[in-house]
């Protein structure tokens, strides 16, 4: 397999989910062997998209070098990984990647419309010779990476939620990432949104970019407060237990979004992984720790 890069330059802009800051972002073709690199154009600092540069995993994946950082990189990284982009330059003029609709759909649609250009250098693969297991004893979360001839990922999501239940999602090279994984949006629980809003977070949250799971009964006054937060005149709770700000693309969209995140985070290993990944209750901390473990083998 040869390395691939973008065919054209693509422009995106919008606010960040957590900071609310408005950013302009260009994703550009890059030379073979350069990998994925973020450039803070306002600071003149380049940050390679590698696990060693992960600075925080608090509700998103943040890359940092010195005082410069770029947060919420996981959806864009997922699109690059899922579509097979080896090399790209990402120029951004602020500290958080635009959340757009909360998924990787916009990136996938733009890139797929033009296709990729092949480069005259072999793709870099990380081959796993023995099992790697990353655990979080407190949460019971784990990622098990086992040797395989081709990449594949299985994710199981269990929040102990009556609404979500236990959701499973799968990806391998036969699954069409663009249609089956990329459209799956980020999600959170209603009570989390209340708490995060009180902490001054989710400043970029609005009606279009997050699935909100309503686990417990909510009164009309609280729904009115949430409608104000989401710039929505009226909100209700659907019979399935979701806030009525949007409709699900898939019944298991939340599980698929966790898979989307993992695909993006594990790409921070700096190479495509020839292995099977079995993830139970994954999150950004666990994902990026797994990417670091793989990067150390390369």
Q: Where are the domains of the chain?
A: 2-124
The pair of three-digit structure tokens given for residue 97, joined into one six-digit string: 């990647």
Q: What is the pLDDT of residues 221-277, one digit of tens each?
A: 888 887 877 777 788 899 999 998 889 999 999 999 999 999 999 999 999 999 999
Q: Quick one: pLDDT at residue 65?
A: 97
Q: Quick one: pLDDT at residue 268?
A: 98
CA atoms within 13 A on the CB side of 250: 19
Quick one: what percent of the chain has pLDDT higher than 70?
Answer: 96
Q: Does the active-site annotation cover 75? A: no
Rg value, the chain, Cα: 19
Which residues have a Cβ under 8 Å from the Cβ of 72 and sit 6 or more positions away?
16, 17, 18, 60, 61, 62, 96, 97, 99
Q: What is the pLDDT of residues 126-146, one digit of tens each?
A: 988 999 999 999 999 999 999
Q: Quick one: pLDDT at residue 141?
A: 97
pLDDT < 70 regions, the chain: 197-207
Q: Quick one: pLDDT at residue 200?
A: 65
Q: Does domain 2-124 have CATH number 3.40.50.970?
A: no
Q: For strand 272-280 and strand 141-147, is the pairing parallel, antiparallel, or unpaired?
A: antiparallel
Q: Is the distance from CB of 259 to CB of 155 less than 8 angstroms?
A: yes
- Of residues 18, 75, 257, 284, which has the active-site annotation? 284
Q: Quick one: pLDDT at residue 232?
A: 76
Q: Quick one: pLDDT at residue 188?
A: 87
Q: Quick one: pLDDT at residue 158?
A: 96
Q: Quick one: pLDDT at residue 210?
A: 86
Which residues have a Cβ under 8 Å from the Cβ of 119 and sit 6 or more positions away?
2, 3, 4, 5, 31, 32, 86, 87
């Amino acid at each position: 397999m040869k390395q691939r890069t973008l065919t054209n330059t693509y422009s995106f802009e919008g606010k960040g989910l957590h900071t609310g800051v408005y950013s302009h972002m260009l994703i550009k073709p890059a030379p073979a062997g350069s990998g994925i690199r973020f450039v803070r154009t306002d600071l003149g600092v380049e940050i390679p998209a590698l696990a060693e540069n992960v600075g925080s995993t608090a509700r998103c994946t943040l890359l940092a070098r010195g005082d410069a950082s770029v947060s919420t990189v996981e959806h864009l990284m997922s699109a690059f990984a899922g579509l097979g982009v080896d090399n790209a330059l990402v120029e951004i003029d602020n500290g958080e990647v635009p959340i757009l609709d909360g998924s990787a759909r916009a990136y996938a649609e733009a890139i797929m419309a033009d296709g990729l250009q092949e480069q005259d250098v072999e793709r870099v693969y990380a081959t796993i010779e023995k099992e790697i297991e990353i655990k979080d004893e407190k949460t019971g979360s784990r990622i098990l990476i086992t040797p395989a001839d081709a990449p594949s990922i299985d994710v199981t999501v269990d929040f102990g939620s009556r609404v979500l239940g236990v959701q499973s999602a799968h990806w391998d090279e036969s699954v069409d990432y663009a249609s089956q994984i990329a459209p799956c949006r980020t999600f959170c629980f209603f009570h989390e949104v209340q708490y995060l809003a009180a902490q001054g977070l989710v400043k970029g949250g609005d009606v279009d970019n997050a699935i909100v799971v309503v686990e417990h009964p909510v009164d009309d006054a609280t729904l009115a407060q949430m409608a104000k937060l989401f710039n929505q005149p009226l909100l209700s709770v659907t019979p399935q237990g979701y806030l009525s700000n949007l409709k699900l693309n898939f019944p298991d969209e939340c599980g698929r979004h966790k898979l989307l995140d993992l695909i993006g985070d594990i790409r921070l290993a700096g190479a495509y992984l020839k292995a099977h990944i079995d993830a139970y209750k994954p999150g950004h901390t666990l994902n990026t720790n797994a990417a670091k473990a793989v990067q150390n083998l390369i």
